[in-house]
């Protein structure tokens, strides 16, 4: 029987919501504080793995998912004239589950937010902490209230304030010399599944997010981490896509407009060495292992963290034993994704071996399909 009766989750992103749902389902009373009063998620697509569907299936959320998201199977690597050069399998990890797919981020966030509330989690929006005592578990909040918790979960993302406050020796995030562009486009009928094209130090891809829409992504070699102004977004993305002779990409580039939800993001990663907990506080998700999106697995890892943390709490008598068990189950899997993704970025920015790229993606997909 666990000694964790009351938990606080700081951050209502994918990781924090799944942690809150899974802890509450196991009899822990959960408070969740989210700094954004409107609980928004930005409007880009997100690719999901077989392992993400395994988790959503376990939470009973696949029916809700199929109403808003798209499912497909495998990854196609295509050449300049759109010919298929390689096919990477994406095994389905359960009956009636897709092996691969994508959805718009706000749609997935809404499914999880509805589930969080339905489970009875006490959600407070527009609120964060002002201080945390990691030993007593006492937390003061920006709304003037205080609370004492057996477990405090820092799920506040890449720029985590919990990490900054309590993990003062954490490594700084590293820029990987690459940026990613994303846009929402009409779903191309001639592309059946997640598809990528390798260009000169560039990689473009498409994944469907619904019956009618896909999201387009493009990684760009960018030695210096610099921002791009809003006015430059459309012409720059079009110019980058023009470097690919692909008829599919040419057609999609012609259709891009100011309404295509173009988003530009320099890529950074961060992997916190062990231990991941300080007293009663543990970090999950991007707060503790932020990967570049080359395996499209960051949100999946964060959501898995939430589930595994709750299983470890329920399966151990003490919080300390639970936190040790949690870290044992998570560290290597998360490290593998962060490091393999960084290597994929390196191959892309150095114009390296495409064969190694395909092989590493396939190997990582296989590893992600293993039980957690």
Ligand X SMILES: Cc1cc2nc3c(=O)[nH]c(=O)nc-3n(C[C@H](O)[C@H](O)[C@H](O)COP(=O)(O)OP(=O)(O)OC[C@H]3O[C@@H](n4cnc5c(N)ncnc54)[C@H](O)[C@@H]3O)c2cc1C
327 in contact with ligand X (CB under 6 A): no
Interface residue with ligand X among 184, 297, 310, 337 (CB under 6 A) is: 297
Q: In this structure, what DSSP letter does residue 59 have?
A: T
Q: How far is the CB of 34 from ligand X (least distance, A)?
A: 5
Interface residue with ligand X among 59, 219, 302, 311 (CB under 6 A) is: 302
- Distance of alpha carbon 124 from alpha carbon 191, whole angstroms: 42
- Distance of alpha carbon 53 from alpha carbon 280, whole angstroms: 30
Helical residues (DSSP H) of the chain, grouped into ranges: 14-25, 50-58, 62-68, 105-118, 161-166, 230-241, 247-254, 298-314, 319-349, 354-368
Nearer to ligand X, 2 or 52 (CB): 52
Residue nearest to ligand X (CB): 13
Nearer to ligand X, 2 or 299 (CB): 299
300 in contact with ligand X (CB under 6 A): yes
Binding map of ligand X across residues 149-168, x = CB under 6 A, - = no contact: ------xxxx--x-------
Interface residue with ligand X among 220, 286, 311, 348 (CB under 6 A) is: 286
- Residues ≥6 apart with Cβ < 8 Å to 99: 50, 53, 72, 73, 74, 89, 90, 91, 92, 93
The two three-digit tokens of residue 372, written as one number: 């957690």
Q: How many residues does the chain have?
A: 372
Q: How far is the CB of 203 from ligand X (least distance, A)?
A: 13
Judge contact between 253 and 122, C-beta under 8 A: no
- Whole-number Cα distances in Å, 187 to 106, 149, 206, 238, 358: 18, 47, 9, 18, 25
Q: How far is the CB of 116 from ligand X (least distance, A)?
A: 12
Q: How far is the CB of 293 from ligand X (least distance, A)?
A: 3
If phi > 0 it is left, if psi is from -120 to 50 it is alpha, else beta; for residue 11 that is left
- Whole-number Cα distances in Å, 71 to 2, 97, 364: 38, 9, 20
Interface residue with ligand X among 265, 329, 335, 354 (CB under 6 A) is: 265
- Closest to 124 measured CA to CA, from 25, 5, 37, 6: 37
Q: How far is the CB of 355 from ligand X (least distance, A)?
A: 24
Nearer to ligand X, 253 or 368 (CB): 368
- Distance of alpha carbon 127 from alpha carbon 142, whole angstroms: 6
Interface residue with ligand X among 56, 184, 296, 307 (CB under 6 A) is: 296
206 in contact with ligand X (CB under 6 A): no
- Closest to 238 measured CA to CA, from 181, 188, 186: 181
Range 18-57, binding ligand X (CB under 6 A): 33-36, 46-47
Nearer to ligand X, 252 or 284 (CB): 284
Nearer to ligand X, 286 or 311 (CB): 286
Tally the C-alpha atoms within 13 A of residue 234's C-alpha that lie toward its C-beta.
10
Q: How far is the CB of 311 from ligand X (least distance, A)?
A: 18
Q: How far is the CB of 325 from ligand X (least distance, A)?
A: 20
Q: How far is the CB of 218 from ligand X (least distance, A)?
A: 11
Binding map of ligand X across residues 110-129, x = CB under 6 A, - = no contact: ------------------x-
Candidates 54-62, 297-305, 317-325, 339-347: pick the segment binding ligand X (CB under 6 A).
297-305
Task: Name the site residues for ligand X (rule: CB under 6 A).
Answer: 10-16, 33-36, 46-47, 128, 155-158, 161, 180, 265, 285-286, 293, 296-300, 302
């Amino acid at each position: 029987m666990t000694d964790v009766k009351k938990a606080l989750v700081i951050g209502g992103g994918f990781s924090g919501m799944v942690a809150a749902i899974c802890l509450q389902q196991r009899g822990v009373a959960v408070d969740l504080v989210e700094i954004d009063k409107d609980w928004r998620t930005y409007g880009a697509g997100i690719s999901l793995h077989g392992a993400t569907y395994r988790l959503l299936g376990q939470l009973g959320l696949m029916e809700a998912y199929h109403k808003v998201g798209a499912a497909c199977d495998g990854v196609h690597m295509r050449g300049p004239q759109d010919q298929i050069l390689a096919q990477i399998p994406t095994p389905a990890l359960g009956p009636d589950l897709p092996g691969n797919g994508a959805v718009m981020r706000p749609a997935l966030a809404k499914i999880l937010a509805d589930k969080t509330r339905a489970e009875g989690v006490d959600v407070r929006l527009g609120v964060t902490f002002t201080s945390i005592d990691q030993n007593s578990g006492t937390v003061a909040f920006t709304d003037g209230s205080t609370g004492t918790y057996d477990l405090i979960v820092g799920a506040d993302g890449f720029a985590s304030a919990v990490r900054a406050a309590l993990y003062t020796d954490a490594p700084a995030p590293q820029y990987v010399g690459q940026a990613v562009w994303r846009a929402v486009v009409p779903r191309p009928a001639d592309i059946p599944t997640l598809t990528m094209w390798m260009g000169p130090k560039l990689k473009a891809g498409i994944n469907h997010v619904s019956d009618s829409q896909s999201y387009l992504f493009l990684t760009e070699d960018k030695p210096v981490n610099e921002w791009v102004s809003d006015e430059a977004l459309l012409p720059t993305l079009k110019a980058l896509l023009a470097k690919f002779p692909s008829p599919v990409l040419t057609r999609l580039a012609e259709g891009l407009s100011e309404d295509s939800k173009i988003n530009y993001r320099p890529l950074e990663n961060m992997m916190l060495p062990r231990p991941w907990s300080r007293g009663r506080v543990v970090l999950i998700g991007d707060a503790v292992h932020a990967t570049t999106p080359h395996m499209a697995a960051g949100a999946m890892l964060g959501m898995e963290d939430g589930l595994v943390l709750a299983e470890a709490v329920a399966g151990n008598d003490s919080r300390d034993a639970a936190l040790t068990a949690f870290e044992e189950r998570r560290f290597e899997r998360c490290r593998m994704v962060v490091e393999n993704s960084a290597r994929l970025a390196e191959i892309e920015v150095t114009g390296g071996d495409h064969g190694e790229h395909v092989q590493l993606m396939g190997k990582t997909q296989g590893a992600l399909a293993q039980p957690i």
